[in-house]
Structure 1
Amino acid sequence: MAAESFLTVLLLAALVLGLLVDPCENQELRCQCIQTYSDFISPRYITKVQLIPEGAYCSRKEIIATLKSGKLICLDPEAEWVMTIIKKIMDRYN
């Protein structure tokens, strides 16, 4: 009886620890951008733009651009040139 309850407690502890180690495999639980850039970057140097809306884990909208060099940079979503590029991207897919 004692061995069975010990194994049950051990199994439950392993299950709980497994859930706490990686609660969301594909989702970051914090903001991605520490610093944003508002200086103009020519769209020809940008290969990918990722829009991350405000959510439970980050209270601000984030725009992450991948440059042709492979470098990731966070763009200032309030910069006029960034809003223009985002609008053009959205219009292309609407």
Structure 2
Amino acid sequence: MAAESSWAVILLAVLVLAIFADPCESQELRCQCIQIHSDFISPKFITNVQLIPEGAYCSRKEIIVTLKDGKLICLDPEADWVMTIIKKIMDRYN
């Protein structure tokens, strides 16, 4: 009987930990961008572009670029120059 109650306590502890554990370590469950940058940045300074579509955890589309110095910047997806660059990138891969 004592062994059964020990297993019940262990099972309960595991269930509680599972409930409070991070549901997905690799994905943030909120918008990534707090501030957006709308001033022009030359593509020659950009090394990576990450497009994050709107979804359940963020109601807006986000564009995060990595600059050559390693800095991450969120771009305004509605800025004309940003849309032009994204269109060129998409055309290159289609």
TM, length-normalised to structure 2: 0.91
- CA shift at 1:19, angstroms? 4.7
User: Which residue number corresponds to residue 71 of structure 1?
Assistant: 71
Per-residue CA shift, 1:10-54, capped at 9, x if unaligned?
Answer: 223224314522211211101000000000000000000000000
The aligned counterpart of 1:37 is 37
- 5+ long unaligned stretches in structure 1: none
Could you say which residue in structure 1 is the equivalent of 2:8? 8
Mean Cα displacement is larger for which, 59-68 or 11-20?
11-20
Tell me which residue corresponds to 2:24: 24
CA–CA distance in structure 1, aligned partners of residues 16 and 55 of structure 2: 26
Quote the Cα distance in structure 2 between the aligned partners of 1:90 and 1:16.
Answer: 44
Determine the C-alpha separation between the residues in 2 that align with 1:15 and 1:92.
Answer: 48
Name the count of aligned residue pairs: 94
Q: CA RMSD in A?
A: 1.4
Query: How much has 1:65 moved relative to structure 2?
Result: 0.2
Aligned identity (percent) is 81
Cα distance in 1 for partners of 2:13, 2:61 equals 37
Q: Secondary structure at the match of 2:51?
A: strand
- Which SS does the other structure have where 1:66 is aligned? strand
The alignment's TM-score, normalised by the length of structure 1, stands at 0.91
Q: Secondary structure at the match of 2:81?
A: helix
The answer for unaligned runs of 5 or more in structure 2 is: none
